[in-house]
């Protein structure tokens, strides 16, 4: 019995090895540099250069690696014919990458399961350009190619007035097999963006974006509808930003979380994403939301220009300096537990953002570091002195005492100045309304605090007048007698 089992087991091993060798030989015969370059050029209408494709007998197990790929910008068929065998010039690169690795697993295919161990682009560089007339250098890839055969007939049918069949949404039921993917995405990538219309540039660098541990099974979607996510990148402006919600920035982002690709009720592709995102370090200048807080009319009359520092350069560094929890589905994003710890203040925020319209509906708390208490009090004192002068009570009241009273509504239990705002409007044009504390007119505080002083001053002035009159009367008495 044991010998029989060993023979069966040995036969299975031999069968698998033969299948692997046959598949490997097929890969070696059909996957070659020239063939891949030609097919890519035909599909993309771009000049393609591949330095090497690593394919061996056991590549079906170990994987296929395509190395040092360069893809040019758009080329006409005549230009492609003239460029055959030539390298892609450095100044004409649309996409390049160090390597692409693909590793499939053979055994799950026998069970009607599709399993990828790895599909990762290493060191890709993408150069996106928007021309002065608003066209992108990838617009040709987005256009539909000329239809042929059945597609032409469908279009003619549509033109003749007959209703065409509505496009069906993609659902989990359109996937014929269970899908398992170990890792797919980008490692150490770079994206360069040049807007020729506005003459401004941005760069995404150190980009690692991975979807891993992917499990999707249409037959068991309740338990297998999961994608884990990991993102690390840095994004910066190259030169001043001429439009948008910030003047300049250089920010790192480190996020991790998961996604449910399909909605369980409708079974449609409608991703629900949950992420915890942090920013280990970064800086920006001229963030519109902070600009509107610094220019708040109520606060300006109360504390002067003591929030003007928010308009300048803000920076942070540290694993806990900036973080937020993000939930997204159907164009709506919810932010919670938001925290940004800059040099002179801390911001706590949360709320909703419509990704399509950029509409905001958020709450924001600004908490100043204790070191700024003195500066704010100085600002209030200047406003008090101006108010006392305006009310004609400058010589009767102490501006320091009134400033202390005016500070109290701003200071929280921890002894820090704290203000809460409602943020509405859009990301490009936010509107911030102060909701706490409810600050009245500084003149009212001056009148309230200085009232008793003014009354006592009035009594004192009256007493002095009586005494002065009495002395004059005593001097006149001898003459009267």
Give the pLDDT of the chain (481 residues) as one tens digit per residue: 444 444 434 444 343 343 343 344 444 444 566 777 787 888 888 999 988 877 654 445 556 778 888 999 999 999 999 998 899 999 999 999 999 888 776 666 556 666 778 888 899 999 999 998 888 888 888 776 655 555 555 555 555 555 556 678 899 999 888 889 899 899 999 999 999 888 889 999 999 999 999 999 999 999 999 999 999 999 999 987 877 778 899 999 999 999 999 999 999 999 999 999 999 999 999 899 999 999 998 898 899 899 999 999 999 999 889 999 999 999 999 999 999 999 999 999 999 999 999 999 999 999 999 999 999 999 999 988 888 887 776 666 788 888 888 899 999 999 999 999 999 999 888 999 999 998 877 777 777 766 655 544 444 554 454 445 444 433 433 443 2
Cis peptide bond prior to 144, omega within 30° of 0: no
Structure tokens at 369: 């570091």
Q: 3-class DSSP state for residue 33?
A: helix
Centre a 10 Å sphere on the Cβ of residue 156 and count the other Cβ atoms it contains. Answer: 11
Centre a 10 Å sphere on the Cβ of residue 217 and count the other Cβ atoms it contains. Answer: 18
At residue 374, the pLDDT reads 93
Task: Evaluate whether residue 448 is within a structural domain.
Answer: yes
At residue 241, the pLDDT reads 80
Task: Evaluate whether residue 190 is within a structural domain.
Answer: no
Tell me the C-alpha distance between 51 and 126, whole Å. 18
Tell me the C-alpha distance between 152 and 175, whole Å. 27
What is the full DSSP assignment across 301-326? HHHTTTTGGGGSEEEEESTTSEEEEE
Task: Evaluate whether residue 462 is within a structural domain.
Answer: yes
At residue 152, the pLDDT reads 54
- DSSP letter, residue 92: G
Tell me the C-alpha distance between 474 and 218, whole Å. 112
Contact yes or no for 368/353 (Cβ under 8 A):
no
Three-state SS string across 321-390, please? CEEEEEEEECCEEEEEEEEEECCCEEEEEEEEEECCCCEEEEEEEEEECHHHHHHHHHHHHHHHHHHHHH
Residue 147 φ/ψ, nearest 5 degrees: -75, 160
User: In sequence order, which residues have a C-beta less than 8 Å from that of residue 172 and are 6 or more positions away?
Assistant: 216, 218, 221, 225, 262, 267, 269
Residue 113: enclosing H or E segment and its boundaries? strand 113-122
Task: Evaluate whether residue 293 is within a structural domain.
Answer: no
Task: Evaluate whether residue 231 is within a structural domain.
Answer: no
- From 305, 249, 256, select the one nearest 278 (Cα to Cα): 256
Tell me the C-alpha distance between 429 and 426, whole Å. 5
At residue 453, the pLDDT reads 53
Task: Evaluate whether residue 460 is within a structural domain.
Answer: yes
What is the domain count for the chain? Answer: 1
Task: Evaluate whether residue 382 is within a structural domain.
Answer: yes
Tell me the C-alpha distance between 269 and 260, whole Å. 9
At residue 3, the pLDDT reads 45
Where do we find the tokens 């008495």?
477
Q: How many residues does the chain have?
A: 481
Burial string for 25-51 (b: 16+ CB within 10 Å, else e) reads eebeeeeebeebbeebbeebbbbbbbe
Tell me the C-alpha distance between 385 and 379, whole Å. 10
Strand runs (DSSP E) across 163-268, as ranges? 178-195, 200-216, 225-238, 248-262
Tell me the C-alpha distance between 400 and 404, whole Å. 6
pTM flag (> 0.85): no
Task: Evaluate whether residue 133 is within a structural domain.
Answer: no
* Structural domain boundaries, residue 375: 371-415+441-480
Tell me the C-alpha distance between 419 and 407, whole Å. 12
Structure tokens at 99: 């390597």
């Amino acid at each position: 019995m044991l010998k029989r089992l060993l023979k069966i087991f040995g036969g299975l091993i031999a069968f698998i090895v033969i299948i692997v060798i046959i598949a490997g030989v097929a890969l070696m015969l059909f996957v070659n540099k020239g063939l891949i370059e030609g097919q890519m050029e035909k599909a993309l209408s771009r000049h393609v250069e591949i330095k090497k494709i690593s394919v061996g007998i056991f590549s079906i197990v170990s994987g296929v690696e395509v190395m040092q790929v360069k893809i040019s910008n758009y080329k006409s068929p005549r230009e492609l014919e003239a460029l055959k065998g030539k390298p892609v010039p450095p100044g004409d690169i649309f996409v390049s990458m160090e390597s692409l690795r693909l590793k499939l697993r053979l055994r799950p295919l026998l069970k009607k399961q599709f399993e990828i161990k790895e599909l990762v682009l290493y060191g890709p560089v993408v150069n996106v350009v928007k021309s002065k007339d608003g066209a992108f250098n990838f617009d040709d890839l987005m256009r539909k190619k000329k239809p042929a055969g059945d597609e032409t007939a469908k279009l003619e049918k549509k033109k003749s007035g007959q209703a065409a069949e509505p496009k069906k949404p993609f659902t989990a039921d359109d996937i014929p097999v269970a899908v398992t993917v170990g890792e797919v995405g980008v490692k150490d990538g770079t994206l360069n963006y040049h807007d020729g219309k506005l003459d401004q540039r941005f760069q995404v660098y150190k980009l690692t974006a991975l979807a891993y541990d992917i499990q999707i099974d249409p037959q068991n979607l309740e338990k297998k509808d999961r994608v884990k996510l990991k993102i690390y990148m840095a994004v910066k402006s190259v030169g001043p930003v001429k439009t948008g919600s910030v003047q300049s920035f250089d920010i790192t982002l480190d996020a991790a979380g998961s996604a449910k690709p399909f909605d369980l009720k409708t079974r449609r592709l409608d991703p629900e994403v949950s992420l915890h995102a942090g920013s280990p370090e970064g800086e920006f200048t001229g963030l519109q939301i902070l600009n509107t807080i610094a220019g708040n009319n109520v606060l300006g009359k109360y504390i002067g220009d003591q929030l003007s520092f928010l308009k300048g350069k803000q920076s942070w560094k540290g694993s806990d300096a900036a973080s937020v929890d993000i939930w997204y589905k159907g164009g709506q994003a919810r932010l919670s537990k938001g925290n940004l710890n800059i040099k002179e203040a801390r911001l706590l925020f949360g709320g909703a953002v419509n990704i399509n319209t950029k509409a905001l509906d958020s709450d924001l708390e600004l908490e100043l570091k204790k070191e700024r208490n003195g500066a704010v009090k100085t600002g209030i004192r200047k406003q008090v002195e101006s108010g006392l002068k305006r009310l004609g009570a400058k010589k009767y009241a102490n501006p320091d005492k009134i400033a202390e009273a005016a500070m109290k509504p701003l200071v929280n239990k921890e002894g820090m100045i704290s203000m809460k705002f409602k943020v509405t409007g859009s990301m490009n044009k936010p509107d911030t309304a102060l909701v706490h504390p409810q600050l009245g007119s500084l003149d009212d505080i001056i009148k309230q605090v200085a009232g008793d002083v003014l009354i006592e001053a009035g009594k004192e002035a009256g007493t002095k007048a009586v005494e002065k009159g009495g002395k004059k009367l005593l001097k006149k008495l001898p003459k009267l007698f």
